[in-house]
Amino acid sequence: MSISRSRPSPSSCRAALITASSAPAPVRAHATPSSCGRARTSVSGARGGRERGEGRAGARDMCAATLLLLAALPALAGRAGWCAGGEVVSVLEAAGAAGGGPAFAPQQRTSVLAPLGHAATLECRVLRLQDKSVSWVRSRDLQILSHAGFVFTADARVSAASAPPARDAATRHTLRIERLRAADAGRYECQVNTEPKMSLFFNLTVVDEPVPEVVVSVLGSSVVRVRAGAAATLACEARYEPAPRALPLPALDVRWARGAEPVALQGARGGVALETARWPARVESRLTLAGAGASDAGAYSCSAAGRAATLTLLLDDDGDRAEAMQRDQAAARAPRSLRALPALLALPLLLLRAGIYTRGHSARHTLLGRARPAARNMITVAIALVALVALYLYGTRTFGYWRNKGVKHDKPIVLVGNNAPVYLMQKSVTEMATELYWKYPKEKVVGFFRSTHPELVIRDPEIIKRILLTDFQYFYPRGLNPHKTVIEPMMRNLFFADGDLWKMLRQRITPAFTSGKLKAMFPLIVERAEKLQARALAAAAAGRPLDSRDLMARYTTDFIGACGFGLDADSLNDEDSAFRKLGASIFQVGVKEAIIAMLKEMFPEWCKHLKYMGRVEQPLIDLVSAILKQRNYEPSGRNDFIDLLLECKKKGKMMVESVERVKADGTPEITTMELTDELIAAQVFVFFAAGFETSSSATSFTLHQLAFHPEEQRKVQREIDAVLARHGGRLSYDAVQEMTYLECAFKEGMRMFPSLGFLIRTCARTYTIPELGVTIDPDVGVTIPLQALHNDPQYFPEPHEFRPERFLPHQQDDSTKFVYLPFGDGPRACIGLRMGLMQSLAGLAAVLSRFEVAPAPRTLRHPRVDPRSGIVQSIQDGLPLAFTERTPSAPAAH
């Protein structure tokens, strides 16, 4: 069950904002409350009419400025401030509404349930359409089905029609689908070609059983009698009968009306609250009217899916106390911090009155320049107080977001939200997400605030599937760049990019990771694997332990240097390899980097030019530029990553259908972009960063687990020996493909300690989670806590036991399909999955074919995670292991 509450914003918010944004300067022309009058009279003791005049002008200007700040503060407060639960209305928006432009009619049926093989009709009603047109778009593939009544699909089952305005003055636009198939289920968009586009989303559910009826009934008595001035609560429920077997069902949305008019939660009346409790096939709704008066009495109806129930509200006349009770209830509803706000903001005025315009103040002294020190101190205090109040409002403006939607969450802290341990480098983001996962075991989703940005931690595999795959068009951005337009050069890469840039890069770079290209790279891997064995052999001969994480990081660095840059980094032999230091520096998070990341999240507009990757940006750009010039901007035939990017550059501009912009006719715009040297450097950066850290982390942790599980280690080694014997004792691409149990051990290591501790997405368009009926808005982040999911016993029994057999083919089932996600899933899954897997298995095979690994004296059974870890998890203090040379066993099939 989920519970959500909606409360309106007071009408004074709207009035204050319109006044603040439309008032000309000076403000005194329209605002002269008594506080200003008192400020003007405070100069009555000054000498001379001229002094009094200047004093009055100064006081008037200061009072006017403070009033302007008072009027503007609700805009700072946003949804969590004075206007909690409602929208902020600007003068332009108000003018647009008054102008009578197109709008969607209220109380539309946006959830449609239909049986397989039957027909379904979606009806979209638009007010004041004028010269605009309506399109129907299928959301899962962004296919335009119709425009202005004309069908644009070859599917003969689809038809569209438009009807002229009816009694409610709305034109009706229908989309009908005959002979429904299971694949027809999903979201459909009714789009009006205004600028910007207007959209209303419809959800179609197709069930393979008779469609249950929707029944709406009153909870309790259908006649509600209260005293005038008391709170009145009306309750009803909507449910499916009989309870259907097929789930999920369209969420039942209950709407309230008084007579023929919808009940306005955000109307001028104020004091209207709606509480909703949901179950899979039932919803309860309670409408509360605080301080009910004579104008509230009458017939009410609650409706859902075209069904309705009627209630009557009657009032016992007790008008003597009604007004006082309503006033008291309104005061009680106001948050305590906001009730104190007028007093806080009045303090600067009192200080100014007491300290500046005192008897004997000379008109020759200016207000801010030559006033006596006490007055200047008071001005400083006043400004500081106002700044603190403004900062508080800014830092809490979104904190009502999850509460208003009925989503459970921890209490946030001003400005930092729930992210304080991350900012203080006490916990990693993965640890924070894991804690929330286990703290709310009965919830499908949990709210979270990263600074003031609302995010959602997903605990349910079905919702994860929707986000990553089924409804990907709503969640294609990762949203890792705090500012949408000012992006660091190194962040304009395939992993961090969103929107059209991501789509173009993905399209161009995908050919780099075909099986043929990976096979061609394998000789480079073999060379590095031999150097890896040599380094381990030297340590084994000396009897000293090796940090397996450092060892595998050097192997990975050398591979990336060869396959990515065409360079011999030689970090396995050179302790001071510059290439190794560059790779390590990418993931070093110091106090400076932590502060920059925090400021960019808290104040994205003000801190948009701060660079988190500034320390590696120029060295990488210089390195890539040198390589490009050396190759004369032509592919060299090395078949490395830079060669691929040069081939992409030779093809000319990148060109794709936009996922962000559409033409006036509703079709996607064509977006083009040049692959510049800076963009090439950014792709090389992410190739380096992703390959370096993820592979070294995963392989070293797998070696660590095999060291503590010698029986599993022997199983893996017997398989490696047998495979190599069949391939003449040489490591090859085909040989690695046959090492199935080694792959199982690696996957089990990735399950226990995934390199990516979490996946992140950002909502691109308003989206309602069907299982919960919770609607999330654009720019709300979504976190999938992989570390927690991978170690949940309901998906992986005995999750803390290292059991590679979990991943044998006959052990696999669909229950963990969207739980085990070390490389992600869907269109934004890791593009280098096969390369990373090949590189990692080859490195493990090279080590385990020659050496046995065992815990060293300093080896921890459960290594500690570095709290400074970002997206990629890192082990604190390394993973030391003892390496002993072994004699390969006789060939035997595993």
Binding-site members for heme are 830
CB burial string 219-240: b at 16+ within 10 A, e below: beeeebebbbbbbbbbbbbbbb
Phi, psi for 675 (deg, rounded to 5): -85, 90
User: Are 125 and 168 within 8 A, CB to CB?
Assistant: yes
Q: Which two tokens stand for residue 58?
A: 């100064």
Exposure on the CB side of residue 764, measured as CA atoms within 13 A: 18
**CA 160 to CA 121: how far, in whole Å?**
9
**CA 9 to CA 77: how far, in whole Å?**
12
**CA 426 to CA 432: how far, in whole Å?**
10
In whole angstroms, how far apart are CA 606 and each of 452, 482, 600, 770?
Answer: 15, 11, 8, 37
Q: Which of 200, 148, 198 has the alpha carbon at shortest distance from 173? A: 148
Indicate the SS3 state at residue 782.
Answer: strand
Task: Identify the helix (H) or strand (E) that includes residue 883.
Answer: strand 880-885
| DSSP string computed for 342-409 | HHHHHHHHHHHHHHTS-TT--TTS-SSSSS-HHHHHHHHHHHHHHHHHHHHHHHHTTTTHHHHTT--B
**CA 410 to CA 437: how far, in whole Å?**
12
Indicate the SS3 state at residue 5.
Answer: strand
Q: Which two tokens stand for residue 660?
A: 């962000």
Helix, strand, coil percentages for the chain (3-state, nearest 5): 40, 20, 40
The one-letter amino acid at 639: N
Indicate the SS3 state at residue 472.
Answer: helix
Instruction: Compute the Cα dihedral for 286, 289, 293, 295 and give only its sign.
Output: negative
E strands, 1-99, where? 2-6
Phi, psi for 246 (deg, rounded to 5): -80, 125
Q: Which two tokens stand for residue 66?
A: 């403070």
Q: Tell me 538's DSSP state.
A: H
| DSSP string computed for 192-239 | E--SSPEEEEEEEEEESSPPPEEEEEESS-SEEEEETTS-EEEEEEEE
Crossing angle, helix 740-752 and helix 833-850, to 10 degrees?
110
List the binding residues: 830
Exposure on the CB side of residue 691, measured as CA atoms within 13 A: 28
Bridge partners of residue 359, in order along the sequence: none
Q: Which two tokens stand for residue 464?
A: 């994860």
Other beta carbons within 10 angstroms of residue 352's beta carbon come to: 22
Q: Which of 179, 172, 175, 139 has the alpha carbon at shortest distance from 157? A: 179
The one-letter amino acid at 191: Q
**CA 830 to CA 754: how far, in whole Å?**
13
